[in-house]
A and B are shown apart, each in its own frame.
Chain A
Amino acid sequence: MNKIIAVAGVVIKELYRRKDFYVLFVLTALLTVAAGAVNFFHDEKIVRYVKDICLLLIWVSALVIAIVTTARQIPAEREARTIFPLLAKPVSRAQVIAGKFLGCWLATGVALVVFYFFFAIITGSREQIWPVGMYLQAMWLQWAMLAIVIAMVLLGSIYFAAPSSTSTISFIVVVGILGIGSHLKTIALQQAEPMQFILTVIYFVMPHLEWFDLRDFVVYDQTLVSWMALALATGYAVVWTGFFLFLAWLGFSRKNLTT
């Protein structure tokens, strides 16, 4: 485990030294504050649109951080050839994959905590209410979803040498699932065969990332999601993450690396 944590530590150091996170945070903060400063019909109690915009920016930023950081991990190690001194040490490829995953996941987790803290301050200052439980649920589920995304991107980065290809494909897949994941069955039923069959199969076998999006609950002040559902969703994320990491390890362990 120490070796995995050591590899993860390097990933985290890289992230906060590359400054991507700071740029995204400043952008999110600026846009949120700008949106919050707009005066609509002289009513200062309007708040939901600010929450909506801020949460959208948080989701986009977190996805960018998670996907872009993860996509470059293995290709950058190979391109800069840092993988060779690393693998020449008593570390297995499975530990490298696990370390890379853990580093990216923890790094996005830290970013999420900062983003949600900012969100809570901004909305709390306008509404004077602090639904901490809801924020924690929303943040936890988003982080759990990012675990699946990071594992998926890590898998992609084993097969696509260019981080830009992995990032682009991952963005399309993730945004596609978030956008139409829950409607795919409805769409399938409106299609003719064989498209209906294909879409139905995709609906049943894809990871349902849309479950992890509680933005509407936060924006519309809904009651908390049941803890049992939350636990099941977390379990679902663990299973999918494990599945993608296992595939990534299989691919990476079979890769011939030559100096």
Chain B
Amino acid sequence: MSVILKTDKLRVEFTSREFRQATKTALVSLDLEVNAGEVFGFLGPNGAGKTTTMNVLLGFLPPTSGAAYLFGIDVRQPIARQRIGYLPEMTYYYKFLTADELLRFYAKIFGLSRADTDKRIPELLKLVELEHAARRPIKSYSKGMQQRVGLAQALINNPDLLVLDEPTSGLDPLGRMKVREIIERLKNEGKTVFFSSHELGEVETVCDRVAIIHQGELKAVGSVEDISAGHANLEQAFLKIVGVQSQPLP
């Protein structure tokens, strides 16, 4: 089974300007491997290092040491992102563009031919149920519609790896269902999905494997069943791994 996403002793330090150049280590020495065709959940409490890992994988942040690879290519090379789709946590799109223009713009960035673009865009708009609003500026969309545009742009290049950052946070139940459907569909197509989430119930439902990170260190990695073994569910296992005991309400 080929490795699609890999981090090798990844370390990220931040130097604070305010506190006399004090250094904070966000990632200690992260070794992670995600295989082709699996749905991989990346879990951790707030401040654990999930976002930092995502930022390194997407080329937003250079690692202090170590390396990260997508499809065997160092993430510092833009070409490493040629076969990925990324859905950010919130909707960050050019609001003066229409959904059609936004998708065409990203298609150009991926180097899609005009014919492929013309074929792909209606398919995606149908998938996210936005055909009727394709030529309206995004600023006129509801929040749910904007999130669906995000999903469409993440799939424009028919990615082999989909990176989702908290994909269901802030979504209404219908939106969550749509995301789950798409993850399932991609899984069936043999694509890889890597996502970070707080929603442990959801992770339990869709993931083949999960990794739990805490204070910048990888605490556990394995299938949902392996990690949940000996616990009532994944949530209990997660709380134990990160060192928090659930307390009954007084």
A86 lies within 8 A of B109 (CB): yes
Binds B, one of A89-97, A168-176, A215-223, A243-251: A89-97
Q: Which residues of B contact A91 (CB under 8 A)?
A: 78, 109
Binds B, one of A11-19, A133-141, A181-189, A198-206: A11-19
A2 at the interface (CB under 8 A from B): yes
A13 lies within 8 A of B101 (CB): yes
A10 lies within 8 A of B105 (CB): yes
Option from A9, A17, A82, A87 in Cβ contact (under 8 Å) with B58: A87
A259 lies within 8 A of B165 (CB): yes
Q: How far is the CB of A250 from chain B (nearest CB, A)?
A: 14
**Nearest chain-A residue to B51 (Cβ)?**
A259
Q: How far is the CB of B57 from chain A (nearest CB, A)?
A: 9
Q: Which residues of B contact A2 (CB under 8 A)?
A: 108, 111
Q: Which residues of A contact B233 (CB under 8 A)?
A: none
Interface size class, chain A: 20 to 34
A258 lies within 8 A of B60 (CB): yes
Listed residue (A3, A5, A17, A89) with the most chain B CB atoms within 10 angstroms of its CB: A89
Q: Which residues of A contact B59 (CB under 8 A)?
A: 87-88
**Nearest chain-A residue to B57 (Cβ)?**
A88
B109 lies within 8 A of A3 (CB): yes
A256 at the interface (CB under 8 A from B): yes
How many angstroms from the CA of A131 to the CA of B240 in the assembled complex? 82
How many angstroms from the CA of A91 to the CA of B82 in the assembled complex? 9
Q: How far is the CB of B74 from chain A (nearest CB, A)?
A: 13
How many angstroms from the CA of A258 to the CA of B86 in the assembled complex? 15
Residues of A67-121 whose CB lies within 8 A of B: 80-92, 95
> With A85-B86, A87-B60, A89-B109 given, is the CB distance from A258 to B92 under 8 Å?
no
A84 lies within 8 A of B88 (CB): yes
How many angstroms from the CA of A256 to the CA of B89 in the assembled complex? 19
How many angstroms from the CA of A30 to the CA of B97 in the assembled complex? 31
How many angstroms from the CA of A18 to the CA of B139 in the assembled complex? 13
B51 lies within 8 A of A90 (CB): no
**Nearest chain-A residue to B163 (Cβ)?**
A88
Q: Which residues of A contact B58 (CB under 8 A)?
A: 84, 87-88
How many angstroms from the CA of A17 to the CA of B59 in the assembled complex? 31
A46 at the interface (CB under 8 A from B): no
B79 lies within 8 A of A90 (CB): yes
Option from B55, B62, B111 in Cβ contact (under 8 Å) with A259: B55
How many angstroms from the CA of A257 to the CA of B88 in the assembled complex? 14
B105 lies within 8 A of A17 (CB): no
A88 lies within 8 A of B61 (CB): no
Residues of B59-73 whose CB lies within 8 A of A: 59-62
B108 lies within 8 A of A6 (CB): yes
Q: Which residues of B contact A88 (CB under 8 A)?
A: 58-60, 81, 84, 86, 88, 163
Q: Which residues of B contact A85 (CB under 8 A)?
A: 86, 88, 92-93, 106, 150, 153
Listed residue (A13, A17, A88) with the most chain B CB atoms within 10 angstroms of its CB: A88
Q: Which residues of B contact A5 (CB under 8 A)?
A: 108
How many angstroms from the CA of A87 to the CA of B163 in the assembled complex? 13
The contact string, 1 if C-beta is below 8 Å from chain A, for chain B 114-146, is: 000000000000000000000000000000000
Q: Which residues of A contact B (CB under 8 A)?
A: 2-3, 5-7, 9-10, 13-14, 17-18, 80-92, 95, 256-259
- 18 chain-A/chain-B pairs, Cβ below 8 angstroms: A2-B111, A3-B108, A3-B111, A6-B105, A9-B105, A13-B101, A14-B94, A81-B90, A84-B86, A85-B86, A85-B92, A85-B153, A88-B84, A90-B80, A90-B81, A90-B110, A91-B109, A257-B60
